Amino acid sequence: MNFGNQTPTIVVLKEGTDASQGKGQIISNINACVAIQEALKPTLGPLGSDILIVNSNKKTTISNDGATILKLLDVVHPAARTLVDISRAQDAEVGDGTTSVTILAGELMKEAKPFLEEGISSHVIMKGYRRAVELATAKIQEICVDISNNDQDNRKLLERCAKTAMTSKLIYKNADFFVKMCVDAVLSLDKDDLDDKLIGMKKIPGGSMEESLFINGVAFKKTFSYAGFEQQPKKFKNPKILSLNVELELKAEKDNAEVRVENVEDYQAIVDAEWQLIMDKLKQIESTGANIVLSKLPIGDLATQFFADRNIFCAGRVASDDLERAVLAVGGSIQSSTTDIKEEHLGTCQVFEEIQIGSERYNLFQGCPKAKTCTLLLRGGAEQVIAEVERSLHDAIMIVKRALQNKLIVAGGGAVEMEVSRYLRNYSKTIAGKQQLIINAFAKALEVIPRQLCENAGLDAVELLNKLRMAHSKGEKWYGVDFETESVGDNFAKFVWEPALVKINALNSATEAANLILSVDETITNKESQPANAGMAPPAGAGRGRGLSMQ
């Protein structure tokens, strides 16, 4: 067929594919991110409220931790998911500031929206934001205070940073109790790598929050026990501890293999051989002189009774991470065979005991010679309360860790944001063109943190922001919102301290997220495919929300 000069229609995308592009698409993405920001705003700061989230299984979570809330919200908008990602990244990298980074990113997008509506290219805005964040980061590095040479006790400095991290948390009323626990936990780790994964947290419902315990060593819940367990001693001083990855259980022959026998004597010989094998293993363990035997695999009733008769304590089916932390604390190594166990393979500690905590029994290893690990036993009235205590302590522990590694700090309570905002405003007056407006917009966006702190506390945000602007223009660089006097004050002098790393990371992450959203001007969403046969999975790449975003 001759088409003449007509160009044939070429179908590239499947019928029903949704494609939207242009300025309207960018503004739509910004609106989605601002909706996420609005949801998180009320949780910021010491007087921020908590959010109750109920998932599809009717499980409730009460939290004001930004990363936790965003993780539990089922965000389907592809652009808004960017905020979820930066919040998680902030949580993993620094541990705190997860709400701040999301609010900042949302505010940067909100400030960019009028420029887009006036026809300014998104690339011009992105260029201005990149320049602004470079200047902001340099300013924070310039004004931050190095506390490594401070005459004060190093521990006090860490406690102040931990207390600031707890101001917005559920545990703030018990801050003095938990601050000590956090600092003890971080200082008990190896000073070279400060691996926070070696801080174990166990949640025990019941009791008050201040009944929580810090164990300088390892604690884990009593494992499954067989008959004979109660006859074992439950307390030792300076015991020898053997850690195994060996099953000490007498198994029925039918579970292991099929054996054909012609007479009863042959069958009895097989049973005797089974008994002999496990008895040999138990005697080899006894000959090591170990007082405590721990194993990842089951320790059966025969072995339990054998150990009880010889005043040896045993625990089988110990969780893998608990056993590994125990070995790091007490020394020795995990053995996968009972033959050739030497003295150096055994660990020790000053005191081992099994105690009752709430409704559970716990095995405690304290006074460990190689203690590079610790355990926090958290108590509380309800499971949701304990879960929020755990999240709060995680944030505070990460802050103490960062403060120990990087001894550069700034004042919190919106002080550093106001100082950087003032600096960027003054800088914007020295340049001409559109960049002046964009850098000024970045400076205005930073004020969202002190403004939201005031609003959440029920204070007059307009009045306090004016006071802060005046104070910073006079050189009071550490002036921020003071919740005690419901006014403004020098937050550095009041020890409202945060690691500079938290602020730098939050600013960079928020700007990257804003620029990423601004750079996407087309979204293509594949139509959800219907499988040809019921029960078949749709082809890869199909599904609502899966899409291609291109610049």
Please check whether residue 418 is in contact with residue 492, taking contact to mean a CB–CB distance below 8 angstroms: no
Measured CA to CA, the distance from residue 24 to residue 15 in angstroms comes to 23
The letter for the amino acid at 305 is Q
| 50, 395, 482, 521: the active-site residue | 395
User: DSSP secondary-structure letter at 539?
Assistant: P
CB atoms within 10 A of CB 53: 16
DSSP for 175-209, written as a single string: HHHHHHHHHHHHHTS-TTT--GGGEEEEEEEBS-G
Contact 75, 36 (CB under 8 A): yes
Angle of helix 434-446 versus helix 122-143 axis, rounded to 10: 50
- Say if strands 547-550 and 522-525 run parallel, antiparallel, or are unpaired: antiparallel
Phi and psi torsions of 144, nearest 5°: -65, 155
CA–CA separation, 220 and 202 (whole Å):
8
| Backbone φ and ψ of 366, nearest 5° | -120, 155
Q: Give the DSSP letter string of 322-337.
A: HHHHHHHHH-S-EES-
Choosing from 50, 61, 65, 373, the catalytic residue is 65
- Measured between alpha carbons, how far is 381 from 115 in angstroms, rounded to an integer? 51
The verdict on whether 99 is a catalytic residue reads yes
Distances (CA, A) of 408 to 159, 276, 399: 15, 64, 12
Per DSSP bridges, beta strands 240-244 and 292-295 are parallel
Over the range 225-246, which residues count as b (16 or more CB within 10 Å of their CB) and which as e?
bbebbeebbeebeebbbbbbeb
CA distance 110 to 510: 12
The answer to whether 395 is a known catalytic residue is yes
98 among known catalytic residues = yes
Type of residue numbered 40? L
Distance CA 385, CA 389 (A): 6
Catalytic annotation, pick one of 43, 68, 82, 98: 98
- Catalytic residue list contains 96: no
Report the distance separating Cα 144 and Cα 53, nearest Å. Answer: 37
**Catalytic: which of 99, 373, 375, 511?**
99
- Locate 464 and state its tokens: 């306090």
Integer distance in angstroms from the first to the last C-alpha of the chain?
A: 38
- 217: which residues sit within 8 A by CB, 6+ positions away? 329, 330, 349, 364, 365, 366, 367, 368, 371, 373, 374, 375
Residue 237, strand partner residues: 351
The 8-class DSSP code of residue 121 comes to -
**Chain center to CA of 255:** 43
The continuous run of DSSP H or E covering 374 comes out as strand 374-380
Catalytic center residues: 65, 98-99, 395
